[in-house]
Structure 1
Amino acid sequence: MKLAVLGATGRTGILVVREALARGHEVTAVVRNPDKLTDKHDNLQLDGSPFQGMRKVTFFTDLIRPMVDAMREVKVTRLVFMSSWYTKYNSADPFIVNWVLKPLLLGQSLHNKAEMEDFLETDCLDIRYTLVRPPQLTDSEPTGKPVLCMEGQSIKSAERKRFTCCRKDVAKFMIDITEKDEHIQKSMAIASG
């Protein structure tokens, strides 16, 4: 399978690239700074992003629109995109999420991710997208257990053991659902098992 990985030099993106290459896929790594990608592989191509140097809060909406246009132009319909837990306001969410994390630490980024999700949900009915929503990402080793997965903004507290997800588990989950063509036009909250 031919895959394009945006953000391939990020801490999770590089793991997605490595997981895909380990499974024999051909990968085009789309990055802002090509010098950051030091991995070499016969099935790996590098593509510098037109968004090089972009650091503003509208990154997700600035990225998704031209990406979907390009996908439509070349008739590619499968998109797996990493978002986050709690992108949209819900009064049932924990107090610390609504009144501390969102407004003080993550608010603008989460708001822009929510706008990107709205665009996919309303304007991209022809795209077979899956939004993958991990909670706080860690560099820990995988547990070896299946990733917990539930449609929606987050995984309810009774069904998860922690508010974190190992980056390697996220990468594996993203490649798994791409290969199996699962969770089409859904937002899937995940957490380490």
Structure 2
Amino acid sequence: MKIALLGATGPSGLQVVKEALARGHTVTALVRNPEKLTEKHEKLKVVKANIYNADDMAPHFEGQDAVLSCLGTTPSWFSLWTITFYTDTAKPIVEALRKANVTRLVFMTSWYTKYDRSDPFIINWVLKPLFLGPTLHNMGQMEDYFDQECADIAYTSVRPPQLVDTDTSGKPVLAEVAQSIRSPGKRFVCCRRDVARFMLDAAEKREYIRKCVAIASG
């Protein structure tokens, strides 16, 4: 496959680069600072691009089989309650996809992007109000945007829980079209390589089209 990747210099994006190259895919990494991506491979092309500019991205999307995105942001104290990064970047990405005539998009979000009163108390009444609420809310708004305004985009939202840098066990990644994967008494995490594995599997097999999928390491 030919894959364009956004967010390749982040820890999850780097794992997508490594996994995609290990599978023999050709990767075009669109990054803000090319010097930050030190991975070298004959099938890896690194280009500088502005993720807020569709015209800047579209030429690099042309001819690709899929676009994958591991874009994320670490909010500053001043922007903690007004996060719009995910919707702000989704719209130019969609515009670039349409200009390039590419429809397949796989992107990373998180567990708990939508409110569900049956979710754990610590999620609804501690983590969301005090820490993660604005980020998760804006991720949810992005998912709504793709669902309601992008009928032509074959998207998959990949929702991992807490991310860890451990090695993959190689076991199948747990997946469910849901807010989270529920299992009494078990704390789920997902290693970044498993996120990469799942995103590439979804792109290769064209699975979970127009779905939001919670995942976790097996």
* Alignment TM class, shorter chain as reference: over 0.9
Query: How is 1:170-189 mapped onto 2 (pairs within 5 angstroms)?
Result: 170-189=195-214
Residue type at the aligned position of 1:190: I
Tell me, in whole angstroms, the C-alpha distance in 2 between the residues paired with 1:34 and 1:104: 35
Distance 2:147 2:4 in 1: 21
Aligned to 1:126: 152
Q: Find the counterpart in structure 2 of residue 138 from structure 1.
A: 164
Equivalent-residue separation in structure 1 for 2:29 and 2:186 (angstroms): 33
| 2:136 matched residue in structure 1 | 110
- CA distance 1:148–1:161, shift in 2 (3 Å): farther
* 1:125-152 CA distance string (max 9 Å, x none): 1111111000000011112211110001
Deviations 1:93-144 (A, max 9, x none): 1010011111211112111111111100101111111110000000111122
1:30-69 aligned within 5 A: 30-51=30-51, 57-69=83-95
Distance in 1, matches of 2:38 and 2:86, equals 25
Measured on the aligned residues, the alpha-carbon RMSD in Å equals 1.7
**Residue by residue, what CA displacement relative to the aligned partner does 1:147-184 show, whole Å, maximum 9, x if unpaired?**
110001111124x9432001111101111111111110
- Structure 2 CA distance for aligned equivalents of residues 94 and 32 of structure 1: 37
Measure how far apart 1:51 and its partner are.
4.4
Offset of residue 49 of structure 1: 3.1
Identity %: 60
TM-score (norm 1): 0.93
Structure 2 runs not aligned, ≥5 long:
53-72
Aligned residue pair count = 191
Q: Kindly provide the amino acid, as one letter, of the partner of residue 83 in structure 1.
A: T
